[in-house]
Amino acid sequence: MPECENPLVPCAMTGAVTCLAGFSGITVVIHGSSGCYYYPASLLHAPLAGTFIVEQDIIFGSEDRLLEVVRDLSGSGMRIAVVTSCVPAILGEDIKAILSSYDVILVDSPGFSGSFEAGYKNALSILAPGIDPGTAGVNIDGVSRLDPFCRGNVIELTRLLSAAGVPVATVLCSDELGKLASCSQYTITTDGDLASGIGTNLGGTLGLDGVRQTFRKIGDAFDGSDVAPVLTEIDSEEERLVRACDKFLRRFDPPRAAIFSGSSYASFAAAALKKYLDAEIVCIGNRGEPAGQADFLSVPASGYSDVRDLIRKHSPDLVIGSSFEKSLRGTAAFTGLTPPLKDRVRLFPEPIAGISGTLSFMEDVINACIDRESGR
């Protein structure tokens, strides 16, 4: 009998909850069992509500329980968003009709309906973002509360945009709900896997080359902006990075790296390791759909056994990924890139995007490799 194991990739329900929970002014209700509630609650550290349906509700219907929760929340002054999980979807209850007396955002996103990214984008489409040509600045896109680098990415890109004289418009998805109706016509992206498609995308912000290209486009799009300080900072910080990597390579061989993440972050990590440390990328284990990684071996790795088999097969001396990969790395160095990262206290808003994001990532990699080579 084949082994049954939990996937490492969050489901569509978690994706929808992540999107909605990023906006202030919304109370998210997870219509499902306690497990469907506690999984995203433990990852997002966000105030969520749940119906916590049990066997009796499955047999006799969950209508009363759902109405009770929504009724208790309806006087809070917050918009209520109800996200359906697998059990109500299988039961076939008409949730829209049940909630017809309440002003509720209903997102039908059972876990089996698709990937985390699909659920996230579905919820965002239901919120119906709008573009206001009069809104100044740039939207920051691809932000997810599930991402351990979420806060740091927003802070870093706000810093760089400010240096260029360009304001931040709407952050998708980590902003006030009211701002969603008046997004800017221009957008930059942190995680391309979660790109919303809102406005004209001026580019990504992962890796120094990506930041450089994107800010040149920002300079062309905005009269009165001055991206020269950002471009100058990129050049000077890249020189520091190259010197640090050259110093490492004078002492040690280039690492053999296995990367486990979503497509966008994995592509960034692979390109940075190859460019600055001449690393051999032995494999990329994709959490989602492979994209943009034609130069590297890229295979699906959504289950624990997938990760275990890839690490055993390629014997990397550097593993990049989540706590799952860390538990399987053996003697390899490890750098965290992918949620969950359960064994670290994260107080400082560390980015992965922007200039500081590349420096922070490469600093972690170099130090992890030095510790391994030194037997620490």
Q: How far is CA 76 from CA 49, 50, 308, in A?
A: 13, 16, 47
Rounded to whole angstroms, the Cα distance separating 158 from 277 reads 29
Mean pLDDT of the chain: 93
Say which range, 81-85, 176-180, 307-311, 342-346, has the weakest mean pLDDT.
342-346
CA 242 from chain centre, in angstroms, equals 28
Strands 104-108 and 138-141: unpaired
Rounded to whole angstroms, the Cα distance separating 239 from 217 reads 23
Element of type H or E holding 89: helix 86-91
Q: Are 118 and 15 in contact (CB under 8 A)?
A: yes
Strands 175-176 and 168-171: unpaired
Q: Give me the DSSP letters along 262-290.
A: -HHHHHHHHHHHHHHH--EEEEEEESS--
SS3 12: helix
What would the two tokens of residue 186 be? 């221009």
Rounded to whole angstroms, the Cα distance separating 62 from 346 reads 38
Percentage of the chain exceeding pLDDT 70: 96
Torsion from C-alpha of 114, 117, 118, 120, nearest 10 degrees = 120
Largest CA distance in the chain: 70
Topology at the third CATH level for domain 12-127: Rossmann fold (3.40.50)
- Range 281-286 average pLDDT: 95
Give me Rg for the CA atoms of the chain. 22
Bridge partners of 258, per DSSP, are 283, 319
Backbone angles phi, psi at 116, to 5 degrees: -55, -45
What would the two tokens of residue 247 be? 């110093």
Predicted TM-score of the model (pTM)? 0.94
Backbone angles phi, psi at 304, to 5 degrees: -60, -40
Place of tokens 């509360």: 145
* pLDDT digits 0-9 by tens, 322-367: 999 999 999 999 999 999 998 878 889 999 999 999 999 999 999 9
CATH entry, 138-226, from 3.40.50.410, 3.40.50.1980, 1.10.150.130, 1.10.150.20: 3.40.50.1980
pLDDT of residue 78: 93
* pLDDT digits 0-9 by tens, 162-214: 999 999 999 999 999 999 999 999 999 999 999 999 999 999 999 999 999 99
pLDDT of residue 298: 84
Burial level of 181, CB count in 10 A (0-12/13-18/19+)?
middle
pLDDT of residue 317: 96
Q: Where are the domains of the chain?
A: 12-127, 138-226, 234-373
Q: Which of 156, 165, 143 is nearest to 237 (CA)?
A: 156
| CATH 3.40.50.300 matches 234-373 | no
Rounded to whole angstroms, the Cα distance separating 269 from 148 reads 15
- Range 79-105 average pLDDT: 93
Question: By 3-state DSSP, what share of the chain in percent is helix, strand and coil, each rounded to 5?
Answer: 45, 20, 35
